Amino acid sequence: MTVLRPRGAAQALRMYARRPDAIPLAGGTDFMVAWNAGERDGRAVLDLSAVREWRGIRRTAGVLSIGALATHAELGDDHLVRRHFPVLARAAAAVGSAQIQNRGTLGGNVANASPAADTLPALAVYDARIATAGGGGRRLQLSDFLIGVKKNALLPGELITAVELPLLPRRPDRQLFRKVGPRAAMAISKTVAAGLLWLDRGGAVRELRFALGAMAPTVARLKAAEEFVRGRKLTPALAEEACRLLDQDVAPIDDPRSTAAYRLAVSRNLLREFLAPRF
Protein backbone atom coordinates (compact mmCIF):
# COMPACT_ATOMS: atom_id res chain seq x y z
CA MET A 1 0.00 0.00 0.00
CA THR A 2 1.28 3.46 -0.95
CA VAL A 3 0.50 6.09 1.70
CA LEU A 4 0.68 9.78 0.77
CA ARG A 5 0.84 12.07 3.80
CA PRO A 6 0.57 15.79 3.00
CA ARG A 7 1.45 18.33 5.68
CA GLY A 8 -0.95 21.03 4.54
CA ALA A 9 -3.98 21.75 2.37
CA ALA A 10 -2.05 22.92 -0.70
CA GLN A 11 0.17 19.84 -0.66
CA ALA A 12 -2.86 17.59 -0.19
CA LEU A 13 -4.51 19.02 -3.29
CA ARG A 14 -1.31 18.70 -5.35
CA MET A 15 -0.84 15.08 -4.31
CA TYR A 16 -4.46 14.24 -5.01
CA ALA A 17 -4.31 15.91 -8.42
CA ARG A 18 -1.39 13.62 -9.27
CA ARG A 19 -3.03 10.54 -7.75
CA PRO A 20 -6.83 10.92 -8.11
CA ASP A 21 -7.11 7.15 -7.66
CA ALA A 22 -5.91 7.47 -4.05
CA ILE A 23 -8.45 6.94 -1.26
CA PRO A 24 -8.75 10.01 1.01
CA LEU A 25 -8.30 8.92 4.63
CA ALA A 26 -9.42 10.98 7.61
CA GLY A 27 -10.33 9.04 10.76
CA GLY A 28 -10.28 5.74 8.91
CA THR A 29 -13.07 4.13 10.93
CA ASP A 30 -14.81 2.74 7.83
CA PHE A 31 -11.64 2.39 5.79
CA MET A 32 -10.06 0.01 8.29
CA VAL A 33 -13.04 -2.32 8.16
CA ALA A 34 -12.75 -2.56 4.38
CA TRP A 35 -8.96 -2.88 4.55
CA ASN A 36 -9.12 -5.74 7.03
CA ALA A 37 -11.57 -7.46 4.67
CA GLY A 38 -9.00 -7.20 1.84
CA GLU A 39 -11.05 -4.68 -0.14
CA ARG A 40 -8.34 -1.98 -0.25
CA ASP A 41 -5.30 -4.07 -1.17
CA GLY A 42 -3.01 -2.34 -3.63
CA ARG A 43 -4.77 1.02 -3.37
CA ALA A 44 -2.95 4.28 -2.68
CA VAL A 45 -4.09 6.20 0.38
CA LEU A 46 -4.11 9.97 0.88
CA ASP A 47 -3.75 10.42 4.65
CA LEU A 48 -5.21 13.84 5.53
CA SER A 49 -4.70 13.64 9.28
CA ALA A 50 -1.90 16.23 9.33
CA VAL A 51 -3.82 18.92 7.39
CA ARG A 52 -4.44 21.49 10.13
CA GLU A 53 -6.33 23.92 7.88
CA TRP A 54 -9.28 21.52 7.68
CA ARG A 55 -9.68 21.19 11.43
CA GLY A 56 -11.45 23.44 13.89
CA ILE A 57 -14.93 24.92 14.27
CA ARG A 58 -15.42 28.63 13.55
CA ARG A 59 -18.30 31.10 13.44
CA THR A 60 -18.08 33.64 10.61
CA ALA A 61 -20.67 35.87 8.92
CA GLY A 62 -23.79 34.01 9.98
CA VAL A 63 -22.31 30.57 9.34
CA LEU A 64 -20.75 27.92 11.54
CA SER A 65 -17.91 26.37 9.57
CA ILE A 66 -16.93 22.90 10.76
CA GLY A 67 -13.62 21.67 9.40
CA ALA A 68 -13.87 18.40 7.52
CA LEU A 69 -11.40 16.82 9.93
CA ALA A 70 -13.31 17.79 13.08
CA THR A 71 -14.08 14.62 15.01
CA HIS A 72 -17.45 13.54 16.35
CA ALA A 73 -16.09 13.96 19.88
CA GLU A 74 -15.14 17.57 19.10
CA LEU A 75 -18.62 18.23 17.72
CA GLY A 76 -20.24 16.84 20.83
CA ASP A 77 -18.06 19.00 23.11
CA ASP A 78 -17.91 22.26 21.16
CA HIS A 79 -19.87 25.09 22.80
CA LEU A 80 -20.87 26.67 19.48
CA VAL A 81 -22.26 23.40 18.14
CA ARG A 82 -24.05 22.65 21.40
CA ARG A 83 -25.55 26.14 21.56
CA HIS A 84 -26.58 26.68 17.96
CA PHE A 85 -26.90 23.15 16.53
CA PRO A 86 -27.73 20.84 19.45
CA VAL A 87 -29.29 18.19 17.22
CA LEU A 88 -25.92 17.73 15.50
CA ALA A 89 -24.17 17.53 18.88
CA ARG A 90 -26.56 14.75 19.92
CA ALA A 91 -26.06 12.94 16.63
CA ALA A 92 -22.28 13.07 16.98
CA ALA A 93 -22.57 11.59 20.47
CA ALA A 94 -24.54 8.65 19.03
CA VAL A 95 -21.92 7.63 16.45
CA GLY A 96 -20.35 4.26 17.12
CA SER A 97 -18.45 4.24 20.40
CA ALA A 98 -16.13 6.59 22.27
CA GLN A 99 -13.18 5.23 20.28
CA ILE A 100 -14.91 5.87 16.95
CA GLN A 101 -16.10 9.31 18.04
CA ASN A 102 -12.51 10.29 18.81
CA ARG A 103 -11.22 9.05 15.44
CA GLY A 104 -14.08 9.49 12.98
CA THR A 105 -14.55 12.88 11.30
CA LEU A 106 -17.57 14.77 10.06
CA GLY A 107 -16.05 15.11 6.58
CA GLY A 108 -15.47 11.38 6.45
CA ASN A 109 -19.03 10.63 7.58
CA VAL A 110 -20.40 12.89 4.84
CA ALA A 111 -18.06 11.64 2.11
CA ASN A 112 -18.83 8.02 2.97
CA ALA A 113 -22.47 8.78 2.07
CA SER A 114 -23.98 5.89 4.01
CA PRO A 115 -27.79 6.13 4.10
CA ALA A 116 -27.61 5.17 7.79
CA ALA A 117 -24.96 7.74 8.82
CA ASP A 118 -26.06 9.25 12.13
CA THR A 119 -24.98 12.84 11.43
CA LEU A 120 -26.68 13.21 8.05
CA PRO A 121 -30.31 13.76 9.17
CA ALA A 122 -29.09 16.51 11.52
CA LEU A 123 -27.12 18.13 8.70
CA ALA A 124 -30.16 17.85 6.44
CA VAL A 125 -32.50 19.75 8.79
CA TYR A 126 -29.82 22.41 9.30
CA ASP A 127 -29.54 22.95 5.49
CA ALA A 128 -25.85 22.09 5.49
CA ARG A 129 -23.53 23.06 2.66
CA ILE A 130 -20.46 21.04 1.74
CA ALA A 131 -17.39 23.16 0.93
CA THR A 132 -14.74 21.61 -1.29
CA ALA A 133 -11.32 22.42 -2.73
CA GLY A 134 -9.70 21.13 -5.90
CA GLY A 135 -11.01 21.82 -9.37
CA GLY A 136 -11.82 25.40 -8.37
CA GLY A 137 -13.73 24.51 -5.21
CA ARG A 138 -17.48 24.42 -4.75
CA ARG A 139 -20.26 24.74 -2.18
CA LEU A 140 -22.96 22.12 -2.57
CA GLN A 141 -26.19 21.63 -0.68
CA LEU A 142 -26.15 18.32 1.15
CA SER A 143 -29.04 17.09 -1.02
CA ASP A 144 -26.93 17.71 -4.14
CA PHE A 145 -23.79 16.20 -2.62
CA LEU A 146 -25.36 12.85 -1.69
CA ILE A 147 -26.30 11.08 -4.92
CA GLY A 148 -26.79 7.45 -3.90
CA VAL A 149 -25.85 4.65 -1.55
CA LYS A 150 -22.18 5.29 -0.67
CA LYS A 151 -21.98 7.74 -3.59
CA ASN A 152 -21.19 11.45 -3.50
CA ALA A 153 -20.78 14.24 -6.03
CA LEU A 154 -17.05 14.83 -5.52
CA LEU A 155 -15.09 15.21 -8.75
CA PRO A 156 -11.63 13.67 -9.35
CA GLY A 157 -9.09 15.62 -7.32
CA GLU A 158 -11.76 17.31 -5.17
CA LEU A 159 -11.79 17.08 -1.36
CA ILE A 160 -14.19 18.23 1.35
CA THR A 161 -12.73 21.09 3.37
CA ALA A 162 -15.65 22.02 5.64
CA VAL A 163 -19.32 21.59 6.40
CA GLU A 164 -21.11 24.93 6.67
CA LEU A 165 -24.26 25.45 8.74
CA PRO A 166 -26.24 28.71 8.39
CA LEU A 167 -27.11 30.08 11.82
CA LEU A 168 -30.83 29.86 12.55
CA PRO A 169 -32.61 33.22 12.88
CA ARG A 170 -34.73 31.86 15.71
CA ARG A 171 -34.40 28.95 18.11
CA PRO A 172 -36.81 26.11 17.19
CA ASP A 173 -39.70 25.45 19.55
CA ARG A 174 -39.01 21.71 19.30
CA GLN A 175 -35.87 19.78 18.38
CA LEU A 176 -35.35 16.06 17.93
CA PHE A 177 -32.60 13.54 17.38
CA ARG A 178 -33.43 9.87 17.69
CA LYS A 179 -31.45 6.81 16.65
CA VAL A 180 -33.29 3.49 16.58
CA GLY A 181 -31.11 0.39 16.64
CA PRO A 182 -30.61 -2.87 18.51
CA ARG A 183 -28.44 -1.19 21.16
CA ALA A 184 -27.16 2.23 22.18
CA ALA A 185 -23.61 1.94 20.79
CA MET A 186 -21.74 0.15 18.00
CA ALA A 187 -24.93 -0.44 16.01
CA ILE A 188 -25.98 0.66 12.53
CA SER A 189 -29.29 2.48 12.68
CA LYS A 190 -32.52 0.85 11.60
CA THR A 191 -33.81 4.37 11.27
CA VAL A 192 -32.43 7.69 12.47
CA ALA A 193 -34.40 10.92 12.66
CA ALA A 194 -33.79 14.63 13.15
CA GLY A 195 -36.44 17.32 13.43
CA LEU A 196 -36.89 21.04 13.94
CA LEU A 197 -40.25 22.75 14.48
CA TRP A 198 -41.15 26.43 14.70
CA LEU A 199 -44.61 27.60 15.84
CA ASP A 200 -46.12 31.05 15.54
CA ARG A 201 -47.73 32.86 18.47
CA GLY A 202 -51.12 31.36 17.66
CA GLY A 203 -49.75 27.83 17.78
CA ALA A 204 -49.76 27.17 14.03
CA VAL A 205 -46.74 25.61 12.34
CA ARG A 206 -44.41 28.22 10.92
CA GLU A 207 -41.91 25.66 9.64
CA LEU A 208 -41.19 21.95 10.02
CA ARG A 209 -37.95 20.29 9.00
CA PHE A 210 -37.79 16.53 9.44
CA ALA A 211 -35.23 14.13 7.99
CA LEU A 212 -34.78 10.37 8.11
CA GLY A 213 -31.75 8.16 7.57
CA ALA A 214 -31.63 4.45 6.70
CA MET A 215 -34.95 4.93 4.90
CA ALA A 216 -33.86 5.72 1.33
CA PRO A 217 -30.71 5.65 -0.84
CA THR A 218 -29.71 8.96 0.78
CA VAL A 219 -30.90 10.89 3.81
CA ALA A 220 -34.41 12.17 3.06
CA ARG A 221 -36.20 15.35 4.10
CA LEU A 222 -39.95 14.74 4.43
CA LYS A 223 -40.93 17.46 1.98
CA ALA A 224 -44.56 16.38 1.58
CA ALA A 225 -45.20 16.36 5.33
CA GLU A 226 -43.25 19.59 5.84
CA GLU A 227 -45.37 21.40 3.28
CA PHE A 228 -48.65 19.90 4.48
CA VAL A 229 -48.33 21.08 8.09
CA ARG A 230 -47.18 24.61 7.25
CA GLY A 231 -49.65 27.18 8.60
CA ARG A 232 -51.82 24.59 10.38
CA LYS A 233 -52.30 24.08 14.11
CA LEU A 234 -51.02 20.89 15.65
CA THR A 235 -53.75 18.32 16.19
CA PRO A 236 -53.79 14.53 16.35
CA ALA A 237 -55.46 14.49 12.93
CA LEU A 238 -52.76 16.71 11.46
CA ALA A 239 -50.02 14.44 12.83
CA GLU A 240 -51.75 11.37 11.38
CA GLU A 241 -52.02 12.92 7.93
CA ALA A 242 -48.37 13.99 8.04
CA CYS A 243 -47.43 10.40 8.92
CA ARG A 244 -49.50 9.11 6.02
CA LEU A 245 -47.51 11.34 3.66
CA LEU A 246 -44.19 9.96 4.87
CA ASP A 247 -43.93 7.29 2.18
CA GLN A 248 -44.02 9.96 -0.53
CA ASP A 249 -40.42 10.80 0.39
CA VAL A 250 -38.96 7.51 1.63
CA ALA A 251 -39.03 3.92 0.41
CA PRO A 252 -37.22 1.68 2.91
CA ILE A 253 -36.11 -1.83 2.04
CA ASP A 254 -35.97 -5.16 3.84
CA ASP A 255 -32.42 -6.04 4.83
CA PRO A 256 -30.66 -8.12 7.51
CA ARG A 257 -31.01 -5.30 10.07
CA SER A 258 -34.74 -4.68 9.75
CA THR A 259 -37.83 -4.82 7.57
CA ALA A 260 -39.30 -2.00 5.53
CA ALA A 261 -42.56 -2.28 7.47
CA TYR A 262 -40.77 -1.87 10.80
CA ARG A 263 -38.79 1.13 9.57
CA LEU A 264 -41.95 2.83 8.31
CA ALA A 265 -43.85 2.14 11.51
CA VAL A 266 -41.08 3.44 13.77
CA SER A 267 -40.49 6.52 11.63
CA ARG A 268 -44.19 7.35 11.66
CA ASN A 269 -44.19 6.98 15.45
CA LEU A 270 -41.29 9.41 15.72
CA LEU A 271 -42.97 11.99 13.50
CA ARG A 272 -46.33 11.51 15.25
CA GLU A 273 -44.76 12.09 18.66
CA PHE A 274 -42.82 15.13 17.42
CA LEU A 275 -46.02 16.75 16.07
CA ALA A 276 -48.27 15.81 18.98
CA PRO A 277 -50.12 18.80 20.55
CA ARG A 278 -48.70 19.80 23.92
CA PHE A 279 -50.77 21.84 26.32
Residue 55 to residue 71: CA distance in whole angstroms: 9
Residue 73 to residue 81: CA distance in whole angstroms: 11
Q: Is the dihedral of CA 5, 11, 15, 17 positive or negative?
A: positive
What are the strands, taking DSSP E only, across 3-68? Answer: 3-4, 23-25, 45-47, 57-60, 63-67
Helix (H, G, I), strand (E, B), or coil: what is residue 131? Answer: strand
pLDDT in tens, the chain (279 residues): 899 999 999 999 999 999 999 999 998 887 777 777 777 778 899 999 999 999 999 999 899 999 999 999 999 999 999 999 999 999 999 987 888 889 999 999 999 999 989 999 999 999 999 999 997 899 999 999 999 999 999 999 999 999 999 999 999 999 999 999 766 656 677 899 999 999 999 999 999 999 999 999 999 999 999 999 999 999 999 999 999 999 999 999 888 888 999 999 999 999 999 999 986
Whether residue 244 contacts residue 228, with contact meaning beta carbons closer than 8 Å, is answered with no
Q: Rounded to two decimals, what is the model's pTM?
A: 0.94
Helix (H, G, I), strand (E, B), or coil: what is residue 58? Answer: strand
Map out the domains of the chain with their CATH numbers: 3-166 (3.30.465.10), 174-274 (3.30.390.50)
